[in-house]
Amino acid sequence: MDLIALSDIYGDIDTLKEFVQKLDIGEKDRRVFILAGDIGFTLNQQEYKQIFSLLANSSNCVLYVPGDTDIENLNVNLPNVINLDKNSFSLEIDGIRLGFLGLGGAPKNSIREDELLPNTYDETIPILKDGILTSLKINLEKIMLNNPHYVVLVTHSPPYGIADRSTPITLKEITILEEIVLDVDYKEEKGKRAAASPRRLGSKAIKEFVEYYKPDIHIFGHVHKQGGKYMQEGDTYFYNVCHFSLTPYKLTGRKFLTIKITKEKEFKASFDNFVTKELYFKDFLEKYL
């Protein structure tokens, strides 16, 4: 079974079409797509449906949460497309049982004050934070009734403190290039770069949930420059799958995660960038840079 996770597509249908065409058609029944939000941006309902149809026709099912740029109640009328926002879903393929639960949107403190986005929440208000935690707990209890081999949490926001660090966005920076070349472990990175970029954008409510309930896998997006980062804390593996679109950073886009699950408590995860590697160098620069 393959879980393929994408995030922050931003309506880039052309790149998505090219990506789907490269997939092995014969594996579609064992493939599950996971979208961790910001699927569209200024898309209408028909364009959203086009994105989901592309993926649904190439997989067993598509599981998603809306991001902060998506409408909160994002739903399309397709049989094998499931909205995980404040919801749960159980699946069995090749004798492996998976339980999924999710939360869409992003905390207000993670976006700029001048941005008016349709799907944010203020977790500094206790009653709203408690509502988030209650929803996640209820949906966890639902999937645990099926005794899953894996519990997979899908959110748009990272948990606070994990792959959620902001970095300044200026033309003078070489941060993007550094992040491509250097694969820095987060535990080492904390002391190295905290002074330059101290702000964390993750959700404290999500952090509280994962620390207590410990899902096996946590997939999220939202913080673009931390895309491709992963770490393990305790029994949970965390993956920031930003970002598939060419927006806002063309050089680091087209990123996706593949998790190959072979049996109970045994899987391999790898990040890749969707590029046509066979191009001559000049053509590569023109197409991707």
Query: DSSP string of 108-174?
Result: GGGS-TT---SSEE-TTSHHHHHHHHHHHHHHHHHHHTT--SEEEEEESSPBTTSS-B-----TT--
Distances (CA, A) of 135 to 41, 68, 98, 268, 278: 26, 18, 19, 30, 47
| End-to-end CA, the chain | 33
pLDDT of amino acid 161: 93
**Predicted confidence band of residue 172 (pLDDT cuts 50, 70, 90):** very low
Nearest Cα to 272, choosing from 69, 22, 78, 95?
22
CATH architecture type of domain 2-288: 4-Layer Sandwich (3.60)
Q: Return the SS3 of 288.
A: helix
Asked if the model's pLDDT at residue 286 lies above 90, the reply is no
User: What is the per-residue pLDDT for 180?
Assistant: 39
pLDDT tens digits, residue range 40-96?
A: 876 788 889 999 999 999 999 999 999 999 988 888 889 899 999 999 999 999 899
Q: Cα–Cα distance between 245 and 253 in angstroms, integer?
A: 6
Band the pLDDT of 186: cuts 50, 70, 90. Answer: very low
Distance CA 12, CA 23 (A): 17
CA dihedral 56, 61, 78, 151 (to 10 degrees): -140
For 172, the token pair is 């003078």
Q: What phi and psi, each to the nearest 5 degrees, are found at residue 159?
A: -75, 150
Tens digits of residue pLDDT in 226-264 = 989 999 999 999 999 998 887 767 777 788 999 999 877
Write the pLDDT tens digit of every residue in 13-46. Answer: 988 998 998 887 778 889 999 999 999 876 788 8
Distance, CA of 102 to CA of 20 (rounded, Å)? 24
Predicted pLDDT of residue 183: 43
Query: What is the pTM assigned to this prediction?
Result: 0.86
Using alpha carbons, list the distances in angstroms from residue 178 to 181, 231, 235. 5, 19, 29
Residue 135 pLDDT exceeds 60: yes
Helices and strands, counts by H and E, the chain: 7, 14
3-state secondary structure of 224: helix
